[in-house]
Structure 1
């Protein structure tokens, strides 16, 4: 469930864009960021002057500056100056969007016209149910073991499905295409299925690599 109460009418028609590979923001999740490039320092300063304090997170599609056409809007929910010219911020995900057109601002960052319609349901209370929570947790435990990740399993098992999946999607070393697929998944159930498939594929590749080394 989205912790911020926004209505579709509250969301602006354009957003400043922060292109960052492998940085995944989902509705309701938190994303800490360390801002140091001058153009993005300017972007944060400009965003803080608006009532919404919203920027758009989007992944680059390739090295030529082309962006994926789906991103997620985040509200600056925490902001601190570091003392050495950087900003430490945290974004809270609000709603995904589709990019329509973009232009370069005179401050050096990109601003895009946004369509919210495809993902308007992000602003509603989500159905936290998934088809097989036990399977998700089982595959997650195997994946964490192979990756040598530590986890508080008691805490995880007490957490809601959306919280578990948001954390998984953000912290696991999935590639850009996998993170984009997780972002664009329609509904928690489909995102859960995709997470299971990605982790099972990684486990299979690890097992195949071990077999080849023996």
Structure 2
């Protein structure tokens, strides 16, 4: 199984999402150096921290994550880096290896399971309602919702793309990331959008 450098973060990174990073810890400076020299390209795994902090080590980590590819590496002095990355495929950690000096893990790809069409029409309608509420909350400054024509054709990827536009906490985002396939993802995402609508409605009334 492939071994990847791993970067535990306080973020559940969904496939297709951008990831800016400011790297200042020496162990992760070494990770960036090793990634940029890797023959298969500058890639590392990202998992959500279950308990603990990003800085200092000793954190507890979730086992579902994504592969991030470094698109741009800017050195800003004293060994620090500013990275622009993008999340690619989803992975599961099979086993964690010793941090030497940074986290590493044996991983496996985790493509969606299950097939068949899913009806996204109710979800897209709810998303439009949510963005209408957000627009009212921000006095017209909310970004527009994603256009259906701009979303991927694959149902699973389409749902990940929608999820990237829904305001939610990291635990909810991780729940979306951890769904086995489109049907389960649709169910979790529908609940997240409904929660966001309830919260936005409450804020408008108070």
TM-score by length of 2: 0.74
- Structure 1 regions of 5+ residues with no counterpart? 1-11
Q: CA deviation at 1:69?
A: 1.3
Show the 5 A alignment for 1:105-120.
Answer: 105-107=99-101, 109-116=102-109, 119-120=110-111
Q: Could you say what the CA RMSD is over the residues aligned between the two structures, in angstroms?
A: 3.2
Aligned-partner SS, 1:120? coil
Instruction: Say whether 1:179 aligns with 2:168.
Output: no
Q: How many residues align?
A: 193
Give the one of 77, 88, 92 matched to 2:71: 77
SS of equivalent residue, structure 2 residue 50: coil
Would you say 1:20 and 2:14 are equivalent positions?
no
Q: Are the aligned partners of 1:79 and 1:87 in contact in 2 as well (CA < 8 Å)? A: yes
TM-score scaled to structure 1, two decimals?
0.72
CA distance in 2, matches of 1:127, 1:151: 32
Question: In the alignment, what sits opposite 2:143?
Answer: 151
Matches within 5 A, 1:182-201: 182-188=176-182, 190-201=184-195
Task: Return the offset for 1:48.
Answer: 1.1
Query: Equivalent of 1:203, from 197, 201, 204?
Result: 197
Query: Shift in Å at residue 135 of structure 1?
Result: 1.5
Cα drift, residue 110 of structure 1: 0.8
SS in 2 for 1:182: helix
- How far does residue 209 in structure 1 lie from its aligned partner after superposition? 6.5
1:137-180, CA deviations, whole angstroms, 9 ceiling, x for partnerless residues?
A: 32331453365352145x74542157875565446552221011
Greater helix share, structure number: 1
Structure 2: state its 5+ residue gaps.
Answer: 53-57
CA contact (8 A) 1:129 1:161 kept: no
- Tell me which protein shows more strand as a share of its residues: 2
CA distance in 2, matches of 1:38, 1:171: 33
CA-CA distance at 1:88 after TM superposition = 1.8
Which shows bigger deviation, 169-178 or 17-26? 169-178
Structure 1 residue 84, shift from structure 2 partner: 5.5
Q: Deviations over 1:39-75 (max 9, x none)?
A: 1111111111112221000001112611111111122
2:129 corresponding residue in structure 1: 139
**Aligned-pair distance for 1:78?**
2.1
CA distance in 1, matches of 2:137, 2:79: 35
How far apart, CA to CA, are the structure 1 residues paired with 2:143 and 2:199? 22
1 CA distance for matches of 2:90 and 2:3? Answer: 13
Contact (CA 8 Å) 1:103, 1:111: kept in 2 or not?
yes
Mapped contact 1:23–1:170 kept (Cα < 8 A):
no
